[in-house]
Structure 1
Amino acid sequence: MRIRLALAFAWLALLALAGAWAAQRLQLSGDLRAFMPEPRTAEQRLLIDELGDGPGSRLLLLALSGAEPAELARQSQALGEALRQDPRLDLLANGAEAGRALEAIPARLLPYRYLLSPTLDRQALDAPFLRDQLEARLQDLGSPAAGLVEPLLPSDPTLETLALAESWEPAAAPQRLHGVWFDSSGREALLLARSGAAGFDPAAQAAVVEAIRTAHAEIAGATGATLTLTGPGAFSVEIGSRTAGEAARIGAIGSLGLVLLFWFAYRSGRLLLLGVLPLATAALAGVAAVALLFGGMHGITLAFGFTLIGVAQDYPVHLFSHLRGGRAPAAVARAIWPTLLTGVVSTCIAYLSFFVAGVDGLRQLAVFTVAGLLAAALATRVLLPPLLEPRSADVADAPWLRRLAARIDALPRPRAAGALLASLALVCAAVAAFAPGDFWQNDLSRLTPVPEAALAEDGRLRTELGAADVRYLLALEAADAEAALQALERLQPALDALVDEGAIAGWDSAARYLPSADTQRARQARLPAPAALREALDGALAGSPFRADAFEPFLADIETARTAAPLRPADLGGTPLHAAVSGLLLDTPAGATALVTLGGLQDPGAVAAMAAAGGARLLDFKETSEALVAAWRGQVLGALALAAVLLALTVWVALRSPRRVGRVLLPMALTLLLSLALLRGFGVELNLFHLVSLVLAAGLGLDYALFFERAGGVPRERLRTLHAVLVCAAMTALVFGLLALSSIPVLRAIGTTVGIGVVANFVLALLVARPPPDPAVEPRG
């Protein structure tokens, strides 16, 4: 007894050490693109890229409210100053950017300001222009803006730097009050931030959101001002927080329920401890297998994989329920092993089918589940029996189990219930096929647990800030970055016309920040030679209070710009301009893709017509994502069809009897139809998580049917099998029933589907796979 207990604790300790080691070294990924199929079209490739690292996926919208406008403006200024120092943000805008022009254009790029600005497209850099500019600067020096203007004067008397910074503000920027952006009502100060972290990196997004909230809390103090924070990054943090919270609650309640169920079933704390060991072994084996084959693991694989290998909890339960006096645990394990192995192999085949689905995340899920189930089965067969003592009690003697079995035996047998089962199948098929509403759910946004109120608030702030539309995007393909910038410049007049017509509120492109090399060369040609510029400046300075030598830096900058090579995208590295340009000008294997984001889009038709005329395309990410999901689903369905064939072959090899194979497979097939009918009958549109859950439910049902069929007609063996399947089904129904109550769509889909499948599989397996009692029949191996 003591030796067995010591060995059990040693096994548990080794698992704990291995788990701690794996937790420290396991690299988790949050890239949701791992659960997307390989894109086949340019639009799908762009969608995948934008979901991961596009500017829209990294945008955060901030609103300060709850205090007087002057106080909110102060807090906006202070928050902007604090967050601009945070390297995790590559953009922070609140309407005060003109005062930060020198930071927007680093010193090494300042000489290029006349090449980036359109001023020379309409104005010569001559004496009259310079004279007007110097007179304006004199007025500026006597105004509250003197502190801003004076440092710029020696090198930039025309304040081209400020003109550039203002031109880079959103085209539909909000109104300014007290020097910063406010909403149309004047009650909320608005800010726009962009994280440098990819949108699929929830940990990095959470760090950014926490930094913003912490900075605001320190600045707001006791003023009562509140912060509203929306955007994809903020939503991903909220989703993660809600998911973790619900998972913790469900896990705690489920664990307590499982302990109580186990105690009721076996009245043994020792068996409870031993039952955990194969499950923990399965989890560690799954983690190790994925890490070995893929070098890391997706967070969804880890979370969902632990749910899937919950099937492994059934294996020790079957062993415990068949223990009885006079028979060694090793002999019991040996007797049930062929049936247990058939179920394990069949379930593994179902999940291995995900390897042909063309989705990396599903491949990881398959490896995790298969490795875990095999490890749990082998642990139950080889490692667990030596730790067990023969039980003096036999669950077949339990009075409540005998009464339940008697009632079940009174139910119609398969032949008598054949017509009823056939009718059930036909009705279920009809309901699944003809229920109103769409059969498949293609809209990814409907899987988000973000509340409707939060989504509405995001839409409101997006409108107030003139932020880019998250659904539509203009794309323009070109041979290289230079050709793309030239095409964007040709498109600009049409875009401005759409703004004037009200079709869009504004637009943004890489060409707003970096003109093409041809445009820069044309502006260079308009820059005067050193002698001519000095003569023009001397003429402008005549009669001026400025010293004649005050503008030598200006002369030097102009000569640098006149002779320098045009700026290219690669020259912007390490500057704020790089973040803006790189997100809108993408390198592709075929050349370059230029993106144009659209704000306040009101007339998609007009924008699409303009795009077609200008050689661009209006991308509707909603339609593109739906097409991608449909392709994804087709791959998964193909994989599951292959799995169904292989599963049937596996059962045939194990049982070698058409009648026995039919008794095992029929409950699973009927459960599939019943589950689909119930989901569709209640208006549920099916998604990938329903499909994966149907596979899980099928694996459970196959296990139930195999053990019922194995028991044959031997009364006491039938009672032990009934006890085991009852415990397994009750545990699984409890866990997934709790998931079905979740407010998170993905968890609810999994819980509802598996919950229905468990109950239906149990009932149908009793009706179909459980032969009538016959004391003369021995249990089959």
Structure 2
Amino acid sequence: MPLSSRTKLVVWCIQFAVLLAGLSYLWLFKSFTIVADLNQIFSVEQEPEIQLVSEQLEQQQLRQHLLLVGHQDKTTAINYALRAAESLNAIAGIAVKVKFDALPQLDSIVRDYLNYPHAFISEQYRYLLQANDSQSLFNYQFNLLNEMASPWVAATLEKDKTLALADFFNQQSLPSAKLKNHDGFLIATKNEPVGHTRYYVLVNFMSNGTGLDLNVAKKIAANVTSLKKQALTQDTGVDYLATGAAFFTASASSSAQNEMTVFGAISVFATLLLIMIIYRSALSVFCTLFVVSVSMIYGYTALRLLFTEVNVLTLVFAVTLIGIAADYSFHALSELRFSKPKVANPLHTIRSSLLLSFLTTTAGYLILVFTPLILFKQIAVFTMAGLLGALLCVLLLYPSLVVLKAKSAMQVPNFISGLHNLQQVWLNNKLAMRWQLLFIIVGLFGLTFLDNDDDPRHFYKVPDDLITQQQTISDLLAEQWDSSYLLIAGENEQQVLRQMEQLLPRLEQLQANKEITAYSSISQWLPSISMQKSNQQLLSDAVNRGDFTQLNSVLGFNLAARPLDEYQQLDFATWQNTKVAPLFTNQWLQIQHRYYSVIKLKSLQNTSSVKSLANTYTDVFFIDKVAGISEQIGQFRLQLIFIYALALTMAMAIFWLRYGLLNAFVAVTRPLIAVLVALILSTWFYGSLTVFNYVAGILILALGLDYCIFYAEHGLCKKITLTTCVSALSSLFVFAILIVSSTPAVSQFGFTVFIGVVVVFLISPRLALVSKRNI
């Protein structure tokens, strides 16, 4: 027995009340954050241990921020740096530091190493000792004595007559070599074209806890922006250079939120204006707006229920739900406003169509839930839940809206009648199926030759100002390390140091081959205990052989060997208290009983060589998040092809049961042709395809199958032409506005769907031949 309109209304009210109660509970008792870091859209699948370590290292990097305050007068730069630090200190959730301990000086570094004689020698010095060639060794030592530019010889010669320690220090470079300490302030200098020197004072600040809170990021960015505006307004001659995750996050968040607001408002306004023109009823406008709002509530509730973090880009893509959810209202309004008065329950005729439409659309999005990319999971969950809300509104709530039913059937607008006549002409002159099949085959073959861009850095646009500031700071501080690095793991500190020592010769070779320009490893400053003992043994043997006789005669000193048991070695715990160790804090990590160290790389040219190097050793890992994400996106892109096939197969099965095999085949080829045309034109317009173009194909399939269902169910009549036209126009309003997005991923997504919707709208009336009904 069918439910009455009143019963349906009660059922809808009850379920919606339960939904709101659930949303209220989630709002109060479950944490939920909106993340603006676009790098977190994607995740790289790694071993759990390496995943944990790389995430912690990434979180450390996200917390670090730098502000350089510059002026031609050093004192003025310091004063404004103090003001900037005071201003930033007012922000809760960050720790600001503008005064620092003295940078390690030459004498203090030497003192930390002098108590461990003969423990530290360079690779070249070790090679000469092992060669037993006293003349070559002396020539090398004599060159060191004549190297007047090196202060290490004078600082170490009194305690180390072998010059081994001086040579060891000569090979090293301090991470903060370009920073000078002036009364506790770290200052970098920049030579300007006019001959002046500009002084930049460093202000360092870190966000508390793990990661970076979006609200804190916005406050940081707003604070620095305010400082810059004050400098321009007051013409102080001060400039501010800032970099860190907060500035990129705030920029991405602001851009996404602005676009979401503007795009959403324009889309809703255009859709409602279209409804007002077509259906000529303010209540119709309100009802559609209500359906869209309810669908948004359903989608948002699903996100809060299933996720603790949602990327802001998910909310930008959520705007697309407006066009899809509004379709359900359009179909109902068309039946209510344009059906003949004698039809008692016009909505009953489209119930099966709506259900089939919901099933086919949901099937496509359901597959996205099982993808490895979190962004598409969130979009799929939001869309499916939103469509469920829209469907329930139309099936349970709209039957009560009898006031919308016109007393006499309204006449469709003239342009719809003209479009309807044109569709009839198209049907009478339809292209033979063999030519359509040929196009599909050629299109599928052509897809294999299209250029695909899987680099996640091309999916969004970072403001040029932020990139310029980051590059300038890197140049001033000589900190230009790549995002990729080598990670070494071990059961204890010494095991990690030994692992790194094995890598150093290979890294030197890579540097000689210009595959990297530099690298930074703790083991360059701290050899393992076993290596220190080996060094001491080598030097002791060389002394006993008389390899230092010529050097002794030059220095006027008689070097005598000491018993090996008198030598001491510098262990890791002691080294951590040296002046050099704090400069390498971000390259060492301990988690429970495992130890990890990072080898930084600069200007890596060939990732395969470093990856091969890492694979040669146990517990050595090459971490390249960008490459890992690119590889995963490429795999997902191939999986999307399978998703297309699976979605079309599921749709064909549904159509087959209802319309027969041949008609089912015709139905699934409509959206397939639209997808192929959209992808080909997107390549021509943008130069390459991204994963977002392929994901757009899922939406084209969903909308295309919707149109096919209604033409197959109701035939080619003016009312269906009206409904599909309004549906297509509302979708085009949404996706046309996305094309102008500043985010390339969003723009490409919008363009592909826009083309696909136009094409599928033009060719879907072919399914009207399945049904001869004219309602």
Q: Secondary structure at the match of 1:191?
A: strand
Q: Secondary structure at the match of 1:248?
A: helix
Structure 1 residue 180 corresponds to structure 2 residue 190: no
Q: Which residue of 1 aligns with 2:456?
A: 444
Structure 1 residue 686 corresponds to structure 2 residue 689: yes
Q: Which residue of 2 aligns with 1:118?
A: 113
Q: Write the letter of the residue equivalent to 2:730.
A: M
Task: Note the 1:61-80 alignment, pairs <5 A.
Answer: 61-65=66-70, 68-76=73-81, 78-79=83-84
For the residues of structure 1 that align with 2:745 and 2:293, how far apart are their CA atoms?
25
Q: Secondary structure at the match of 2:701?
A: helix
Structure 1 residue 316: Cα displacement: 0.8
Q: Deviations 1:274-305 (Å, cap 9, x if unpaired)?
A: 11222222222223234334456454444434
Q: Write the letter of the residue equivalent to 1:206.
A: K
> Which one of 438, 463, 466 corresponds to residue 475 of structure 2?
463
Q: Is the 8 A contact 1:509 1:584 kept in 2?
A: no
Q: Which residue of 2 aligns with 1:282?
A: 295
Structure 1 residue 53 corresponds to structure 2 residue 59: yes
Structure 1 residue 772: Cα displacement: 9.5
For the residues of structure 2 that align with 1:512 and 1:660, how far apart are their CA atoms?
72
Q: Which residue of 1 aligns with 2:491?
A: 479
Q: Deviations 1:703-726 (Å, cap 9, x if unpaired)?
A: 11111222225xxxx101111111
Q: Which residue of 1 aligns with 2:728?
A: 729
Q: Which residue of 2 aligns with 1:432?
A: 447
For the residues of structure 1 that align with 2:624 and 2:85, how far apart are their CA atoms?
33
For the residues of structure 2 that align with 1:632 and 1:209, how far apart are their CA atoms?
35
Task: Note the 1:201-240 alignment, pairs <5 A.
Answer: 201-213=213-225, 222=234, 223-240=236-253
Q: Which residue of 2 aligns with 1:258?
A: 271
Q: Deviations 1:664-705 (Å, cap 9, x if unpaired)?
A: 222111111111221223354322322222111211111111
Q: Is the 8 A contact 2:368 2:380 kept in 1?
A: yes
For the residues of structure 2 that align with 1:484 and 1:679, how far apart are their CA atoms?
50
Q: Which residue of 2 aligns with 1:36?
A: 42
Q: Which residue of 2 aligns with 1:771?
A: 769
Q: Which residue of 2 aligns with 1:650?
A: 654
Structure 1 residue 737: Cα displacement: 0.3
Q: Write the letter of the residue equivalent to 2:680.
A: A
> What TM-score, normalized by structure 2, do the two folds share?
0.72
Q: Which residue of 2 aligns with 1:756?
A: 755
Q: Secondary structure at the match of 1:230?
A: strand
Q: Deviations 1:179-199 (Å, cap 9, x if unpaired)?
A: 622235433515364634655
Q: Which residue of 2 aligns with 1:525?
A: none
Q: Secondary structure at the match of 1:682?
A: helix
Structure 1 residue 751: Cα displacement: 0.8
Residue correspondences, number:
669
Structure 1 residue 306: Cα displacement: 4.6
Q: Which residue of 2 aligns with 1:170?
A: 175
Q: Which residue of 2 aligns with 1:248?
A: 261
Q: Which residue of 2 aligns with 1:553?
A: none
Q: Deviations 1:476-530 (Å, cap 9, x if unpaired)?
A: 23234552245457878998999999997775556799998999999xxxxxxxx
Q: Write the letter of the residue equivalent to 2:476.
A: E
- Pair 1:711–1:411, CA change in 2 (3 A): same
Structure 1 residue 475: Cα displacement: 2.3
Q: Secondary structure at the match of 1:392?
A: coil
Q: Deviations 1:341-363 (Å, cap 9, x if unpaired)?
A: 10101111111112332444443
| Structure 1 unaligned spans of 5+ | 102-112, 125-166, 523-561
Q: Which residue of 2 aligns with 1:387?
A: 401
Task: Note the 1:139-150 alignment, pairs <5 A.
Answer: none
- Pair 1:622–1:778, CA change in 2 (3 A): closer
Task: Note the 1:338-377 alignment, pairs <5 A.
Answer: 338-377=352-391
Q: Which residue of 1 aligns with 2:134?
A: none
Q: Write the letter of the residue equivalent to 1:751.
A: G
Structure 1 residue 272 corresponds to structure 2 residue 278: no
For the residues of structure 1 that align with 2:244 and 2:768, how far apart are their CA atoms?
55
Q: Deviations 1:308-347 (Å, cap 9, x if unpaired)?
A: 4641110010110122465489722211010111010111
Q: Write the letter of the residue equivalent to 1:226.
A: D
Q: Write the letter of the residue equivalent to 1:661.
A: A
For the residues of structure 2 that align with 1:329 and 1:119, how far apart are their CA atoms?
100
For the residues of structure 1 that align with 2:702 and 2:282, how far apart are their CA atoms?
28
For the residues of structure 2 that align with 1:168 and 1:358, how far apart are their CA atoms?
42
Q: Secondary structure at the match of 1:475?
A: strand
- The worse-fitting range, judged by mean Cα deviation, of 191-200 and 639-648 is 191-200
Q: Is the 8 A contact 2:242 2:469 kept in 1?
A: no
Q: Deviations 1:161-202 (Å, cap 9, x if unpaired)?
A: xxxxxx997244346789622235433515364634655754
For the residues of structure 2 that align with 1:760 and 1:269, how far apart are their CA atoms?
31
Q: Write the letter of the residue equivalent to 1:623.
A: A
For the residues of structure 1 that align with 2:613 and 2:440, how far apart are their CA atoms?
54
Structure 1 residue 331 corresponds to structure 2 residue 325: no
Q: Is the 8 A contact 1:62 1:191 kept in 2?
A: yes
Q: Deviations 1:561-585 (Å, cap 9, x if unpaired)?
A: x9xx98499x99xxx9999636642
Q: Is the 8 A contact 1:733 1:758 kept in 2?
A: yes
For the residues of structure 2 that align with 1:681 and 1:502, how far apart are their CA atoms?
37
Q: Is the 8 A contact 1:54 1:199 kept in 2?
A: yes
Q: Is the 8 A contact 1:330 1:385 kept in 2?
A: no
Structure 1 residue 660: Cα displacement: 3.1
Q: Secondary structure at the match of 2:428?
A: coil
- Pair 1:630–1:413, CA change in 2 (3 A): same
> What TM-score, normalized by structure 1, do the two folds share?
0.71
Q: Which residue of 2 aligns with 1:411?
A: 426
Structure 1 residue 264: Cα displacement: 1.0
Q: Which residue of 2 aligns with 1:128?
A: none
Q: Write the letter of the residue equivalent to 1:769.
A: L
- The worse-fitting range, judged by mean Cα deviation, of 385-394 and 266-275 is 385-394
CA RMSD of aligned residues (A): 5.0
Structure 1 residue 740: Cα displacement: 0.8
For the residues of structure 2 that align with 1:170 and 1:86, how far apart are their CA atoms?
29
Q: Write the letter of the residue equivalent to 1:279.
A: V
Q: Which residue of 2 aligns with 1:556?
A: none
Q: Write the letter of the residue equivalent to 1:736.
A: F
Q: Deviations 1:93-131 (Å, cap 9, x if unpaired)?
A: x7x633599xxxxxxxxxxx999943533599xxxxxxx
Q: Is the 8 A contact 2:69 2:239 kept in 1?
A: yes
Q: Secondary structure at the match of 2:188?
A: strand
Q: Is the 8 A contact 1:432 1:681 kept in 2?
A: no
Q: Secondary structure at the match of 1:195?
A: strand
- Pair 1:650–1:612, CA change in 2 (3 A): closer
Structure 1 residue 456: Cα displacement: 4.4
Q: Deviations 1:220-256 (Å, cap 9, x if unpaired)?
A: 9832423232344422221221222233222232232
Q: Secondary structure at the match of 1:170?
A: coil
Q: Is the 8 A contact 2:366 2:380 kept in 1?
A: yes
For the residues of structure 1 that align with 2:409 and 2:48, how far apart are their CA atoms?
65
Q: Is the 8 A contact 1:184 1:464 kept in 2?
A: no
Q: Is the 8 A contact 1:488 1:509 kept in 2?
A: yes
Structure 1 residue 79: Cα displacement: 3.8
For the residues of structure 1 that align with 2:218 and 2:34, how far apart are their CA atoms?
14
> Which one of 304, 315, 319 corresponds to residue 291 of structure 1?
304
Q: Write the letter of the residue equivalent to 1:53.
A: Q
Q: Is the 8 A contact 1:282 1:375 kept in 2?
A: yes
- Pair 1:65–1:721, CA change in 2 (3 A): same
- The worse-fitting range, judged by mean Cα deviation, of 382-391 and 175-184 is 175-184
For the residues of structure 1 that align with 2:278 and 2:520, how far apart are their CA atoms?
66
- Pair 1:233–1:499, CA change in 2 (3 A): farther
Structure 1 residue 731: Cα displacement: 0.8
Structure 1 residue 757: Cα displacement: 1.2
Q: Is the 8 A contact 1:463 1:600 kept in 2?
A: no
Q: Is the 8 A contact 2:179 2:187 kept in 1?
A: no
